[in-house]
Structure 1
Amino acid sequence: MPYSLEKVIRPNILQLQPYRCARDDYDKGILLDANENAYGPSLLEQREGDLHRYPDPYHVQVKKSFIKLRQLPSVQHVFLGVGSDEVIDLLMRIACVPAKDKIMITPPTYGMYSVCAHINDVQVVKTPLIVENGAYQLDTEKVLEDLKANPEVKLVFLCSPGNPTGTCLSHASIRQVLESDYEGIVVVDEAYVDFVDKEEGSVAQWVDQYPNLVVMQTLSKSFGLAGIRMGIAVGHPDLIQILNNTKAPYNIGTPSAQIAQEALSEQGVARMMDYRQRLIQQRGHVINSLKSVQGIGRILGGNDANFILVEILDKDNKKTCNIRAEKIYKYMAESLNVVVRFRGKEYGCEGCLRITIGTEEENKQMMAKLQESLTVF
């Protein structure tokens, strides 16, 4: 039986007549249809692009560059959002009835899923990852069991590589969820996928095979463009159309689109790949350096992102210690001007610091300050 979106999308969203904006009809000529300022922007210097005009509602050229990079079938498979956070929010709004429906997350995971659920008055079912020995993999049997016990779950969020785990979920486990009798939407968050240095990377090319799959990516991480807030959803064209119907008419501004287009050009992608390789190399150096530091425990997870998750041990070097880890985190930030992230309160991350991989010089300074902190506490 073919998959039916009607089973998961809210009826009012399916019936929605989207706002038709001026640029949907015409975008050339003497444009006197959108109440724009004909004299132009009130800037001291003129900048590239017609900033006094409303932007393209869909930014087709950006999407064409993206599908070329990711080898996707068409622009109809791609949605652009204001960061992945807008994609997360829109998916909840189109699928989840407030105070009735639920989402599923797999802790430890990205915190915005739960925050967005709370804002939308959507309940959260938590099915933890298998965390023993830093595995951070899906407990697929428990996931499917919890989905059967909670038929109100409309969205399952799977973060791969995970945050804060830095670990790719096995493709077999993701397929197991997609090929089960679950009728909701499976969202795979691939914000860090370009830092995966092994065969199992993106599942974005699966979207035609699995019409209930949405893959989220972003230009914030590997492309180094966190400041333009460009999130991307890849999915079946029918589902992408619903997202386009629901979004704000001009959600992506012209400057952000221009920068994204430049980053996705042949030269931009080449530069991204160069930076990616440098960060992967630096990741290996940091991991090797940490292994010989007294007071450092295991480097957990698969190390598939541009950060690592590392245990801080107690003074006797016998077991992980949340108190010491948090003290070191605060001391480094407040006294030594090096900011990492304390993650010890997350499930399966006791005593852990999450350390983003920096430049070679930044990593050297981080290592020196971390070792200094370990002698203080």
Structure 2
Amino acid sequence: MSQLLRPSNAVLNTSTYSPYKHLAPIDLKLDANEGPPLPISISNALADISIDTLRRYPSTQDLCQRLAKRFKISPNQLLVTAGADDALDRACRAFLGPGSELIYPTPSFEMIPRFAQWAYGTVLNIDWSQSKFPLSKVVDLISERTKLISLVSPNNPTGATVTSDELIALSKAAPKALILLDHAYVEFVDRPELDLSQLALSLDNVCIFRTFSKAWGLAACRVGYVMGPERVIGWLKQVGHPYSVSTLSANLVHRALSDSNKYISESVTQVQKERFELSKLLKCLEGNVTDSQGNFVFYQGPQAKWIYDALAGLGIAVRTWSKDSRLANAIRITCPGQQKGFERLTKALQTALDPQAILFDLDGVIADVSESYRAAIIGTAASYGVEIHDRDIAMIKACGDANNDWRVTQTLLHKHGLDVSLAEVTERFERLYQGEEFDSQHSPRGLYLKETMIPTRETLIKLCEGRKTAIVTGRPLKDALIFLERFNLTDLFQELITMEDAPAKPDPAPVKLALSRLGVERAWMIGDTVDDVRAARHAQVIPIGVLIPKEPEPFFTRKHLETAGAARVVENITEIQEWLR
């Protein structure tokens, strides 16, 4: 029966709000413009709530009066809502319907056109990709059908602003339309004249939308408010839930208003400083950096996608838009608002844009070991009567902690019910790999002789040009040197880190040792296993995954490399050359 159900066209014509997320683990979220954490004392407000209060429907009357006093307006001119989103949604439902229009300068806050479509309004887009507001183009679109005009200032995602003269001109040009002045980021402006709240309150057809989610650091509370003409606020009350804000959230906002003004002022100052430094760094790149007045910086240019992926590889999330062609090659980076987080961000950006060194795993990146090490695993298992396939090896490598092929072989045997010592497994493995057995002509037949180079020497020279390089491998020193000398590669790498030098990956020690010996801080590392990726990330090195030749499980392996934290996964390391400036 459910197949016979059909939602309204308003639902069918929109999609779920779902920003693209990188698969890498993230611990520094700079993709949602959330404010810095508040002092722990704010949470004490929760202790003031009695058990009896929790069973009562909430009231925002006290908060409404407090905010109205703050702006010197009547409480009837203000409505507390479940975030500014709730207030914007109410405005669309109150003013729009079939045949009515919202003028929407874009790119901007992407929920506004959704709210309009749900109310069966028509959205008219006007390009606002540059810093200057397109006033004349907006005015040209105004007609009898115009019911709402969206003004997000500072704009999200660009950070551009609207001036007082532009707001006045627009108000006069559209006397029958309500202007939605979204001031969610206004606390972050560094010029007082960009706060248009008092001016907007003097105009008959403007509502101001504010929030506690950004500068106040209370996004989880979902508390915002709208101010405007008393008659309009009354209409907005009619089209929304009567109890939209919980008592818990209201109490936390009360405490923040009482205790956090000094803290907010200091954190805003920190954000403004970070915004300036971050803009200066990005303006060195090809592309466009708008003059942002929000708690973020917007960059659109050819290196945006790589920056997004590279930062994710180091555990930092920034915002991108995979489904919006207007924002192709664009990123928005939230300012952390904390010195430690900002230092981490700037170092990560510098690493993405200008690495001092390139580190290479050896096996699967430079050396094709499908007929040597992997064949030795299969052959050693066969000597115990156990049949192992390439797919089995790929699966165990994808799980991690599998940088030592002797231990990988022992683990595979254990999975088949054989309890064999590592020493015995190693001896049989080495006989196959080193060729300690001889044929009738007494010529060595070790599997190592079947190893070939994956990239050409010329490819490696191009990747290494102008940067320091090192091999970071789990091979014994002797085996690594044999391969490098055999293929005339020793001159390309300043350092060689092997099994004898440090604990095995995923421990970051061998990667850190390579950085130390090279005398660098910023590097990329190319590896074919999740152990390479994890070791690099923990050493603050950007990890790049590569699929081995004839990878038996390419989709499976790619996903595991990405979820382990690889910035990107390539099939051929020649692709990496494009990302180097």
State the TM-score, normalizing by the size of structure 1.
0.75
Structure 2 vs 1, CA of residues 141 and 268 (structure 1 numbering), >3 Å: closer, same or farther? same
The amino acid across from 2:160 in the alignment is T
Q: 1:268 to 1:108 in 2, by over 3 A?
A: same
Match of 2:136 among 132, 137, 141: 141
**Partner residue in 2 for 1:66:** 67
Q: 1:299 to 1:225 in 2, by over 3 A?
A: farther
Correspondence for 1:309 = 298
- Choose the corresponding residue for 1:372, options 341, 351, 355: 351
Aligned residue runs from structure 1 range 1-377, under 5 A: 48-49=49-50, 50-56=53-59, 59-69=60-70, 71-97=71-97, 99-129=98-128, 131=129, 134-135=130-131, 137-148=132-143, 151-265=144-258, 267-291=259-283, 296-297=285-286, 300-311=289-300, 320-321=301-302, 324-333=303-312, 335-343=313-321, 351-358=329-336, 359-374=338-353, 377=579
Distance 2:317 2:145 in 1: 40
Change (3 A) 1:299 1:284: farther
SS at match of 1:191: coil
Question: Could you tell me how far 1:227 is from its partner in structure 2?
Answer: 0.6
Q: What is the TM-score with the length of structure 2 in the denominator?
A: 0.50
Task: Give CA deviations for 1:233-269 in whole Å, capped at 9, x if unaligned.
Answer: 010111111212222121111001101111122x222
Provide the rounded CA distance (Å) in 2 between the counterparts of 1:138 and 1:268: 33
In the alignment, structure 2 segments of 5+ residues that lack a partner are: 1-45, 356-575
For residues 202 and 279 of structure 1, the distance between their equivalents in structure 2, rounded to whole angstroms, comes to 17
Counterpart AA for 2:65 = K
Deviations 1:70-102 (CA, angstroms, capped at 9, x unpaired): x332211111111111111111111112x3222
CA shift in 2, pair 1:159/1:355, >3 Å? same
Structure having the larger proportion of residues in helix: 2
Change (3 A) 1:248 1:299: same
> Is the contact between residue 344 and residue 351 of structure 1 (CA under 8 Å) also seen in structure 2?
no
Between the two structures, name the one with larger relative contact order (CA 8 Å, sep ≥ 6).
1
**Equivalent AA in structure 2 for residue 225 of structure 1:** L
| Percent of paired sites with the same residue | 24
Q: What one-letter code is carried by the residue in structure 1 that aligns with 2:298?
A: L
Decide whether aligned partners of structure 1 residues 306 and 181 sit closer, same or farther in structure 2, where only a CA change above 3 A counts. Answer: closer
Question: 2:510 is matched with which residue?
Answer: none
**Which residue type is aligned with residue 96 of structure 2?**
C
Change over 3 Å in CA distance of 1:345–1:297 after alignment to 2? farther
Indicate the residue corresponding to 2:26 in structure 1. Answer: none
Residue 66 of structure 1, CA deviation = 1.9
Q: 1:344 to 1:325 in 2, by over 3 A?
A: farther
In structure 2, the residue matched to 1:3 is none
Q: How far does the alpha carbon of each residue in 1:191-214 deviate from its partner, in whole angstroms, 9 at most, with x for none?
A: 000000113222222345312111
Note if contact 1:104-1:157 (Cα within 8 Å) is conserved in structure 2.
Answer: yes
Compute the displacement of 1:114 (Å). 1.4
Offset of 1:271 from its aligned partner?
2.0
Distance, in Å, in 1 between the alignment partners of 2:203 and 2:146 is 18
Distance 1:283 1:68, change over 3 A: farther
CA distance in 2, matches of 1:299, 1:54: 49
Q: Answer yes or no: is the 8 Å Cα contact 2:158–2:298 preserved in 1.
A: yes
Q: Distance in 2 between matches of 1:344 and 1:68?
A: 43
Aligned residues: 308
- TM-superposed CA distance for 1:300, in Å, is 2.2
Task: Give the whole-Å Cα distance in 1 for the aligned partners of 2:307 and 2:260.
Answer: 38
Structure 1: runs of 5 or more not aligned: 1-44, 312-319
Separation in 2 of the partners of 1:170 and 1:74?
Answer: 26
Conserved 8 A contact 1:219-1:231: yes
Q: Distance in 2 between matches of 1:119 and 1:344?
A: 23
Amino acid of the residue matched to residue 122 of structure 1?
Answer: G
Question: Equivalents in 1 of 2:167, 2:314: separation in Å?
Answer: 42
Q: Distance in 2 between matches of 1:157 and 1:253?
A: 28
Cα pair 1:107 1:347 within 8 Å, conserved: no
Cα distance change of structure 1 residues 160 and 152 upon mapping to structure 2, 3 Å threshold: same
Separation (CA, whole Å) in 2 of partners of 1:146 and 1:113: 18
Q: What's 2:557 paired with? A: none
Q: Cα RMSD (Å) of the superposition? A: 2.3
AA of the residue aligned to 1:326: K
C-alpha displacement of 1:156: 0.5
Please list the CA deviations of residues 258-287 of structure 1 after superposition, one character each: whole Å capped at 9, or x if unmatched. 01111122x222221121122212222333
- How far 1:373 moved relative to its partner? 2.6
For 2:398, the equivalent position in structure 1 comes to none
Distance in structure 2 (CA, Å) of the matches to 1:245 and 1:117: 17
- Alignment partners' CA distance in 1, 2:137 and 2:161: 19
